[in-house]
Amino acid sequence: MTLRCRRAVTWLLALGFLGVMVEPALAKAAKRKAKSPWVKRRDKRGRMIVVDINVPPLTRDGRPNVQAKAAIMIDLASGHPLYEKNADEQRPIASISKTFAAMVVMDRKLALDKVTTIIAEDQKYARGGAKSRLLMGRGYTNLDLLHAMMMGSDNRAVTALGRAAGLTPVELVAAMNDKARALGLPHTAFEDPVGLSNGNLSTPRDLVMAVRAMLEYPLLSQISGKKEHDVWTADDKPRSSSHFVNTDQVARAGRYQVLAGKTGYTDEARYCLVIAAKVGERKVAAALLGAEGELTRFADFNRAAAWLIDGGPAKVAARSVLAARKKQDSGASPGTGTSNAAPVP
């Protein structure tokens, strides 16, 4: 065999080996891509949004195709429900619990510029949740801790803020329950301050009332709508910072003006969102509990918001009136138009 032939055979064997190695990897990547229902598209105003292509925007009866297990959207001005799905179903709410902790410490005149140090107690109550970016033994201003808690859902910040407001973790939980009662939320209860307990329960209907109350705290509203924030240590040691990005993708996308809100997740609660936002010319509040996908809760809100802008509630009402008339007409006899009884001879 000539040298040229040997080289050709060597190249063919090498290419065959590469094919054996690369083809399964490419096939696996293609399969993964095919499974993903999420694609990026531009809306009518040219802004990039994430869309679940496997979920039609509307149901057959013209309502938003919300995938969360329980949900509601209300008009903030009137309190009138615009959309409901199992709105009174009590479910775990995970880190949405932090909205109540935030209102409690603000009610106690939290000193925003004071420095609070992260201690072992904070680490203890955060254990079992997402990794904290607040350093043990380091001090942070209470204002930065509010950002870490509300935007980044950092669990260590919760008990630290409670301590800054003069409350032990047990007292903070009691104050959160008192706040729920004061707001008239009969189906809301808390067992732990950060939201890791499955005993932290509420309903979508209760939660939209809670986020409505949250609007009375301008600072919390401002923090909720931020896209990102740098949290700096504020003690006598060398300074360091952590960059927090808002866990609420509706706020990050900027498509709607977020007025207040909070995300949540545990294995039991699944993915949750409570939000107040300006949609078109209307201010609304929505609560979405028990979504299976991390992005589904945001897609659910976007579907409901688009439905609202498109006049969905009026269309559904008109369809209901038309269906009622058809039902009434189907019960009338051709002779009289008012009864299905046989005509009197």
Q: Where are the domains of the chain?
A: 59-318
Of the residues 97, 132, 153, 197, only one is catalytic, namely 153
Handedness of CA 245, 250, 254, 257 (dihedral sign): negative
Structural Rg of the chain based on CA atoms:
27
Residue 33: band (very low, low, confident or very high) from pLDDT cuts 50, 70, 90: very low
Reference 165, options 193, 132, 135; nearest CA is: 193
Question: Which residue is associated with the tokens 């949540």?
Answer: 264
Closest CA relative to residue 274, chosen from 150, 186, 128, 180: 150
For the cut 90, the answer to whether the pLDDT of residue 126 exceeds it is yes
| Predicted local confidence at residue 338, as pLDDT | 40
Is position 153 annotated as part of the catalytic site? yes
- The pLDDT of residue 26 is 53
For residue 321, name the pLDDT band (cuts at 50, 70, 90). confident
pLDDT at 311: 95
Q: Is the pLDDT of residue 57 over 50?
A: yes
Alpha-carbon separation of residue 72 from 149, 162, 174, 191 (angstroms): 25, 30, 27, 24
Grade residue 50 by pLDDT with cuts at 50, 70 and 90. low
Active site residue 95: yes
Please report the DSSP string for 215-241 in residue order.
Answer: TT-HHHHHHHH-SEEEEEB-SSSPP-E
Judge whether 171 and 162 are in contact, CB under 8 Å.
yes
Mean pLDDT, residues 145-153: 98
C-alpha–C-alpha distance, residues 122 and 237, integer Å: 20
Rounded to an integer, the average pLDDT of 253-266 is 97
Return the exposure string of 256-288: e unless at least 16 CB atoms fall within 10 Å of the residue's CB, then b.
Answer: bebbbbbbbbbeebbbbbbbbbebeeebbbbbb
At residue 75 the predicted structure's pLDDT band, cuts being 50, 70 and 90, is: very high
Query: pLDDT at position 342, please?
Result: 33
- Using one digit for the tens of pLDDT, what is the confidence trace for 161-172? 999 999 999 999
Q: Residue 344: pLDDT above 60?
A: no
326 tagged catalytic: no
pLDDT at 34: 46
Mean pLDDT of 4-33: 56
| Residue 229 in this model has a pLDDT that exceeds 60 | yes
157 CA to centre of own chain: 20
> Looking at the predicted structure, is the pLDDT value of residue 76 above 70?
yes
Work out the mean pLDDT of the chain and round it to a whole number: 88
Evaluate if pTM is beyond 0.75: yes
In percent, the amount of the chain with pLDDT more than 70 equals 80
Judged by average pLDDT, the poorest of 127-131, 260-264, 304-308, 315-319 is: 315-319
The one catalytic residue among 69, 85, 97, 98: 98
Pick the closest to residue 288 from 302, 276, 271, 305 (CA basis): 271
- What's the angle, vertex CA 229, arms to CA 223 and CA 232, rounded to 5? 115
Task: Give the H/E segment covering residue 198.
Answer: none
| CATH code assigned to 59-318 | 3.40.710.10
Does 39 score more than 50 pLDDT?
Answer: yes
Q: What is the mean pLDDT of residues 122-126?
A: 97
The two three-digit tokens of residue 145, written as one number: 């801790």
pLDDT digits over 193-209, tens only? 999 999 999 999 999 99
- Once rounded to an integer, what is the mean pLDDT over residues 309-328? 86
How many Å apart are CA 207 and CA 202, to the nearest integer?
7
Section 22-50 average pLDDT: 54
